[in-house]
Amino acid sequence: MKKRFLSTLAFTATAALALAACSSGSDGGTDAGTDGGSDGGSSGDVITVGFAQTGSESGWRSANTESMKTAFSAENGFDLVFNAADNDPAAQIQAVRSFINQGVDAIVIAPIVEDGWDDVLQEAKDAGIPVILEDRTVTASDDLYASWVGLDFELEGQKAGEWAAAEFTEPTNMVVLEGTTGSAPANDRATGFDNAIAGSSITKLDSQTGDFTRDGGKTVMEGFLQKYGVDEIDLVYAHNDDMALGAIEAIEAAGAEPGVDIKIVSIDAVRDGMQALADGKINYIVECNPLLGEKAAELVKAVLAGDDVDKRTIVEDQAFDQAAAEAALPDRKY
Ligand code: GZL
Ligand code: ZN
């Protein structure tokens, strides 16, 4: 308690000094976080934001990172301190701690996994630094972050499951390529899909994480093909396109035709996934929109300006069959 009290005390003193500096207009250079989030950016001041990204595990992630960097640009009034945690939850929490120590004005997180966030979010709160979540969610109490902008992962899983339940009316064996273990999308996409296929003719043979990567999807699919044989598997449910694209490689290497001998339903609708759908190697894709940067930047400015913000903002997704993918491909932004 003593340590925290002192750090708060020290922080308050620094903020008071920096605030004086900011308001006297002598805040010429970039803040480098000296004022610890008290200047709110409303004084036309540079807002220093620490962004803790999951890593670079998928095509979706690259599009999301690009969207965030474009939104949190210098011309938009930001100084972005970017960290990609290489899909390592401990490293991501360490990155958030370093943002707190730097005294950034606000912190944005795309949390790799849902659990384990309570302590560091409490530390950010004690330091007076608001946290905005983008993309994935956490199980920590929502008074530990200002707002979340993301997607309805359970609905994405449900849409994929509804397609599969309608498509397969004969007894069907399915294998599942799960996303990162403990992540909100992996948990919720499984729940939504399983609820949608309850009572259908689909049997889940196996389910294993491919960690949202192409290599992961390929390796796990190779294992399933070894274990069950091509003829025993009718359907693959991949929690993202990158794992579906890895599974396509494994199915072709086993001499079977993806999208024909073994059908595939996936989530994301990134360019490479949509191309595979247009080529008939994937059969259905539910979109998961990665372009969250603009909304996240809007939330950071509103929170620092002291405005009330919605706790949750869900971005719309759509779904694509082969014809819709062919039509949508030319205009896809990601
Ligand atoms: C979903 C996002 C997931 C994508 C994957 O919003 O968190 O992480 O579905 C990405 O492609 O790796
Ligand atoms: Zn300032």
* Nearest protein CA to atom 6 of ligand 1, as residue: 135
Considering only the C-alpha atoms of the chain, give the largest distance between any 2 of them, rounded to a whole number of Å: 74
Whole-number Cα distances in Å, 92 to 95, 117, 211: 5, 10, 16
Whole-number Cα distances in Å, 11 to 5, 101, 127: 10, 10, 7
Ligand 1 shell residues, CB under 6 Å: 57-58, 60-61, 135-136, 151, 185, 212, 240, 242, 267-268, 288
Helix (H, G, I), strand (E, B) or coil at 93: helix
Q: Which fold has domain 8-149+290-315?
A: Rossmann fold (3.40.50)
Q: Which protein residues have a CB closer than 5 Å to ligand 2 (ion)?
A: 22, 27, 31, 35, 39, 45
List the chain pLDDT tens, one digit each, 334 residues.
Answer: 444 444 444 444 444 444 444 333 333 334 444 444 444 444 568 999 999 999 999 999 999 999 999 999 999 999 999 999 999 999 999 999 999 999 999 999 999 999 999 999 999 999 999 999 999 999 999 999 999 999 999 999 999 999 999 999 999 999 999 999 999 999 999 999 999 999 999 999 999 999 999 999 999 999 999 999 999 999 999 999 999 999 999 999 999 999 999 999 999 999 999 999 999 999 999 999 999 999 999 999 999 999 999 999 999 999 999 999 999 999 988 8
Confidence (pTM): 0.87
- For residue 242, the ligand 1 atom closest to its alpha carbon is 11
Q: What is the model's pLDDT at position 35? A: 47
CATH classification number, 153-288, choose in 4.10.490.10, 3.40.50.10260, 3.40.50.2300, 2.30.30.140: 3.40.50.2300
Length of the chain, please?
334
Instruction: Collect contacts of 259-264 with beta carbons under 8 A, ≥24 apart.
Output: 259/283, 261/230, 262/230, 262/233, 262/234, 262/235, 262/236, 263/167, 263/234, 263/235, 263/236, 264/235, 264/236, 264/238
- Amino acid at position 295, single letter: K
Encoded tokens for 105? 């004005």
Contact by Cβ (8 Å): 269, 242: no
Beta strand 284-287 pairing with 319-320:
antiparallel
Task: Note the ligand closest to the C-alpha atom of 17.
Answer: 2
Q: What is the model's pLDDT at position 118? A: 98
Q: What is the model's pLDDT at position 44? A: 67
- Amino acid at position 116, single letter: G
Q: What is the model's pLDDT at position 273? A: 98
Listing DSSP states for 180-246 in one string gives STT-HHHHHHHHHHHHHHTTSSEEEEEEEE-TTSHHHHHHHHHHHHHHH-GGG--EEEESSHHHHHH
Q: How many CB atoms lie within 10 A of CB 18?
A: 20
- For residue 183, the ligand 1 atom closest to its alpha carbon is 7
Residue 31 carries which DSSP code?
A: -
Q: What is the model's pLDDT at position 333? A: 85
Encoded tokens for 207? 């389910």
Closest residue by Cα to residue 237 from 207, 214, 257? 207
Q: What is the model's pLDDT at position 140? A: 98
Q: Do domains 8-149+290-315 and 153-288 have the same CATH topology?
A: yes
Q: What is the model's pLDDT at position 319? A: 97
Pocket test for ligand 1, best of 148, 215, 268 (most atoms within 8 A of CB): 268
What are the extents of the domains in the chain? 8-149+290-315, 153-288
Task: Note the ligand closest to the C-alpha atom of 292.
Answer: 1
